[in-house]
Every structure is written in structure tokens, then in C-alpha cells.
Amino acid sequence: MGMPHLKKSSCFKFPRSQNGIALIAILLLFVMVVMLAVGMIERQELTMKRAKNTFQREELKQVALGIEVSLKEMTLGMLNNAKKLGGSNVKPYLYFNPLGFFATPLPGVDEYDVAIHISDPRGRLNLNELSRDNEATRKQAAENILRSLLLDLSFEDPNAFIQEVKRWLDQDMNISDPDYESRDIPHKAGHQPLVHFSELNVFEWLTEKDREQQRLNWLGLYVDVLPLEKGKPSKLNVNTACKKLLASMFTDCPQCTTDLLKERDSGVEEAPAGFMGKGFREADKILEVTKVKEFYEEVAANNPDGGNAPENENDNTNQNRSDVRKVPWPKDQLGVMTDYLDIYIRVQRKGTDSVFDMKTRFKVDQDAPKVEVAYRNYSPIQPITLANQRVCLD
């Protein structure tokens, strides 16, 4: 009997024109899955880095806030200590001359590098002195000093800057601002005193060269923004003013600046507890410096009216630096102490690139005594600010 005949099974074959298409489709699908997986991993890694950076920043921020509290308590303790030992007439910041950055080891923060810088806003020219509501002589004196500073710092158009600041401070709300409203980002003028130095960034008086040279940051070493109190002179602290600012106050009397600095830096015979630095004990002592005294006597002799500014604000006759003799910085605005302190704090975790910068402005009431936080700024500290001590002493 013969073997049964087995029927051959037939198998499906792709047409010759479709060879490899299925493999390519599978490979494409595999590539898409891999790409999705890689994207998810990268996104997850990015989220983890973001969370880590946020945590580190928050950690450094809390350290900075803790340092701020410590400095606030230290300042208040110094005020109380000086008042207790010296009576109500003692002014703890009489000789306060805090220039420059200093690194300090603080208890409980061994794993961080901390740098603290203390400066005095009263040792800088207050831009709000240019307000039209200010007394004319004081306003013109401030304008003369500001113009001298702008020229020294090589600003390309000092007069345009001064005019725009004055227009920004103009509190007449009926004035229209077509120049402001026609800009790429339309806005109105403040029509009020400046609140923060950064408001100057919206002014269009800065040329491209001014911005490249960071001249606005340099200007911030010599001018600031503080509120004006009605009927109360905004005194400039000679004990903490930079050399360039003092030179701008006495442009026609270079020897005044030299003698003033020499007398200021000679120190005092005996400083009560809580006092720091060197300087004049009383404002009247400033006017006892021979050259300064002669300067004001000559100004009084040449200007029987006290060197009052012209009533017409558009009068450009007082555009020269020598006009500081016509309208000198008023004697009653020469001060020796402060009611504000700027605290710059930089915290960095050792062995990492994580850095946190913070600036706090303290409002100091020496009579109460009381120390309050006026505001905080979490923006990075400019390298120019770090060079404050060198710039002020040069």
C-alpha cells in the first residue's frame, strides 16, 4: 500500500513591491516609543533639577532672612546699649562709616559662605530733592551736585537726565505725557517722588553707550531715593559720603574736600559703647573745618540773598559746575548720622554654585529706639556695588 499523498501547505507571501515595509513600520514605532521615553526622562530630570534649585534657593533665602533678623537685633541692641550708657542724647550712628563688603563667620551657618555689606543711603544724594515741591535753593543745590556727578561719570546728556527726573517727579496730574505714552511700552510719569532707584530704568535718557558702560549702576553709588519729610531738611551724612560726592558738593573748592576727608578720617578721642567707625561728632564740627568755613563765608558774601535759585525752572543759566558757589549745598543739610541702613547679604552653599542675594533697607528710629524693614529686594547684587568700598575711597 502506498504512502498517502500529503498536500503542501501554502504560506502567505508579501508582494515583491512590499518587502521590508512592515519592518520599517515596526522600527518607526520603536523609535517613537524610545523618543517618548527619552523625552519623559529628560522632563523628569528637568523637574528634579528645578525642584532642587527651588529648594536650594529657598534654603539660602531662609538663611539670608535669618541673618537679616540677627543684624536687626544687633542694631537694636547697639541702640539700646548706647542709649543706656550715654543717655538720650547719644546718637549711636554718629560715627557710623560702614563702607565695603566683609565676610563673617556666623554661628550655625558653617556650611555657607556669607558676605554682608552695610551702606548708608543718607550718605548719597537723594534724587527726590529735585521735586518741584522742594524749597528752590535746596532743589537747585541738588541739581548742581547731580550734574557734577553725571559729568564725572561721563554721561552723554546730563541735562536730559535731570529734566526727565524733574518731569517724573512733577506732581501736577494735569500734565499730559505724550512722550511716555507713545513709547513701545506706554506708561505715564510717576507724578510723585521716586520710590526706588530702579525706576530710572524706564527713562529713555540712557544712550546705548551709557548702558554698555553700566553708568546707571555707577551712579547708584552716589545717589539714592528716600522720602522727603515736609518741613524737615533731608540731611546728607558727611560721615558716610563718598569722596566723589563730597567733591561734587565743593566743585570750586577742592581743598574743602581734602580737608573735610582728613578731618573726618582722623577719628574721635573717645567713642561711647556701640559707636563704630570714625567721623564728625556733631554737624557744627563740619563748619569748623577752615576751608569749608571760608567757602560758606565767601558764598554768603557774594550772595546776600543766600544764593537762591532762579524762579524760572527753565532758566538754563545755572548749567555750569561753577554755579555750586551760587547755590551751595545748604548748611542745615549737612548731617553726621543716619536714619536708614542698606544691608546687602550674599549667601552661598559651600562647594556649590548656588548663590542668593538680598538687599534689605532698615528704617532706624534712634530716639525710640526702633528698627523696621522698609523693603527687601531679592535681585542679584551688581558687581559695581561690591566695589563700593574701593570706589568710595579712591
Which pLDDT band holds residue 102 (cuts at 50, 70, 90)?
very low
Closest of 226, 219, 233 to residue 363, by C-alpha: 226
Any idea which of 92-106, 112-126, 127-141, 245-259 has the lowest mean pLDDT? 92-106
Nearest alpha-carbon partner for 150 in 223, 211, 203: 223
| Residue 362: pLDDT over 90 | yes
For residues 311-335, average pLDDT: 57
Task: Write down the pLDDT at residue 5.
Answer: 56
pLDDT band of 311, cuts 50, 70, 90: very low
Q: Is a pLDDT exceeding 70 seen at residue 66?
A: yes
pLDDT higher than threshold 90 for residue 372: yes
SS3 223: strand
pLDDT confidence tier of residue 98, bands split at 50, 70 and 90: very low
Domain 32-120+338-394: CATH architecture, name and number where available: 2-Layer Sandwich (3.30)
- What pLDDT band is residue 243 in, cutting at 50, 70 and 90? confident
Where is average pLDDT lowest: 22-31, 49-58, 183-192? 183-192
Residue 392: per-residue pLDDT? 58
Domain boundaries, the chain: 32-120+338-394, 126-218+229-337
pLDDT at 68: 92
- Average pLDDT rounded to a whole number, residues 245-250: 89
- Alpha-carbon distance of 142 to 371, in angstroms, equals 28
Average pLDDT, the chain: 76
In the numeric block, which cell numbers belong to residue 52?
A: 532642587
What pLDDT was estimated at residue 125?
A: 93
pLDDT at 309: 43
Whole-model pTM: value is: 0.76
Confidence of residue 106 (pLDDT cuts 50, 70, 90): low
**Mean per-residue pLDDT, 262-271:** 65
pLDDT of residue 385: 56
- Give the Cα separation of 127 and 249 in Å (integer): 15
Mean per-residue pLDDT, 152-164: 87
Question: Is 94 a residue whose pLDDT tops 90?
Answer: no
Q: How far apart are CA 152 and CA 2, in angstroms?
A: 120
Residue 373 reports pLDDT greater than 50 = yes
- 362 or 172: whose pLDDT is higher? 362
Q: Which residue from 241, 250, 244, 253 is spatially nearest to 279, judged by alpha carbons?
A: 241
Residue 386: exposure state from Cβ atoms within 10 A (0-12, 13-18, ≥19): middle
Distance CA(100)–CA(312), nearest Å, equals 41
- Provide the pLDDT for residue 65: 93
